[in-house]
Amino acid sequence: MHNAIALSVAALMAAAIIVIGSFYVLAPERIMGGFGLRLPALDADTRPWLRLKGIRDIASGLVVLTLMMTTDARTAGIALLVLSLIALGDMSNVLWSGGSKSTAFSVHGVTGAVMIVVGLFLIHVL
């Protein structure tokens, strides 16, 4: 039962980050304000950097979904624990850069925390 809930949450988070990443690749101006940093000028030099974030997000979501479909829950849980470093790193970057504290904690911090909790459930620590 716990695994089913944890796997469902993991799948939803993976799908959500794929959607977010797709926005960064296809239309970064529509989503970049939600990251928590001061907005850069959206010019030819900035778009490729935003697309890098999008590609990273899409790949991260696909890793989780692929592991969920091809291995056991424990392996997917380990991947979630490792990938939570991205969310926690993003939170730290926003805070260190003088960005929005509320966004740093409510978006990136909560995402990282949920990933850790779900990962721990999937590896049967919780």
Question: Tokens 């850790």 — which residue?
Answer: 116
**Long-range contacts, stretch 96-101, CB < 8 angstroms, 24+ apart:** 97/37, 97/38, 98/38, 99/35, 99/36, 99/37, 99/38, 100/36, 100/37
Please give the torsion angle defined by the CA atoms of residues 10, 114, 90 and 47, in that order, rounded to the nearest 10 degrees.
40
Q: Please write the tens of the pLDDT for every residue from 104-122.
A: 999 999 999 999 999 999 9
Q: Please write the tens of the pLDDT for every residue from 22-48.
A: 999 998 878 887 888 877 777 778 888
Q: How much is the pLDDT for 28?
A: 84
Query: Does the pTM exceed 0.85?
Result: yes
DSSP string, 2-33: HHHHHHHHHHHHHHHHHHHHHHHHH-GGGTGG
Please give the torsion angle defined by the CA atoms of residues 55, 81, 118 and 75, in that order, rounded to the nearest 10 degrees.
90
Whether the per-residue pLDDT at 1 is higher than 70: the answer is no
